[in-house]
Amino acid sequence: MGEIKVSPDYNWFRGSVPLKKIIVDDDDSKIWSLYDAGPRSIRCPLIFLPPVSGTADVFFRQILALTGWGYRVIALQYPVYWDHLEFCDGFRKLLDHLQLDKVHLFGASLGGFLAQKFAEYTHKSPRVHSLILCNSFSDTSIFNQTWTANSFWLMPAFMLKKIVLGNFSSGPVDPMMADAIDFMVDRLESLGQSELASRLTLNCQNSYVEPHKIRDIPVTIMDIHLLQFHGTKYAAIDPSMVSAEELEVQKGSLGISQEEQ
């Protein structure tokens, strides 16, 4: 892998926004790491939950943009939890510690699933005002690995990282996307064996979201699913809004033939 290109914005972010470490469980080894930026007067902030490979700082661009518009944003990196109930209980304690009664949750991949599970967990005494889900899921069975979920803790770190890296795009991508992938790989390398093993366990442990328990919560779903259809007759976007360079990347990565266009 080539040299990681570090954005000047990222360097500024790391130097300007302090990383807080908070313990809310009886187990002192369970440490929540978070960036809390924006007006502290806001009592219903937006909280970002990362994917398996992510750390709290993967949302630095969103934090910089949103705080510039006056939002309070909190980006989290969760401790080692081995089941969804344990995570939800720890997250509830964290919100209590931060004196936040209700929050908006943005979750990417695993983070989106955990956000839904927390909304489900607190449905009798709601703590989630809205959900934003990016490339997420509501049932872990889609990964077809529920039978291996209880064995991740035995695997060495290099094997766990290989599993996660297998989900990263390997085809041609534009330079900005390539830099983003390199950045996420770098963040993945910073995670220890127990962190990765616990996240993969949460990602694959047999569980699903009970829809009737979150049906009253506003939900926005974000996905890049439609990108694969750009440049074809099935595209859901005005062709004039897609650059020629992007179309070439899509053709190369998907092997689109002239007949399909």
Where are the domains positioned within the chain? 4-225
What is the pTM (predicted TM-score) of this model?
0.81
Pairing of strands 73-77, 128-134: unpaired
The arrangement of strands across the sheet holding 32-37 comes to: 19-22, 32-37, 73-77, 46-49, 103-108, 128-134, 219-222
On whether the 4-225 domain is CATH 3.40.50.1820, my answer is yes
- The pLDDT of residue 212 is 95
Give per-residue pLDDT as tens, 199-258: 999 999 999 999 999 999 999 987 665 666 666 666 656 667 667 766 665 555 444 433
Give per-residue pLDDT as tens, 181-199: 888 888 888 899 999 999 9
Give per-residue pLDDT as tens, 81-101: 999 999 999 999 999 999 999
3-state secondary structure (DSSP) of residue 33? strand
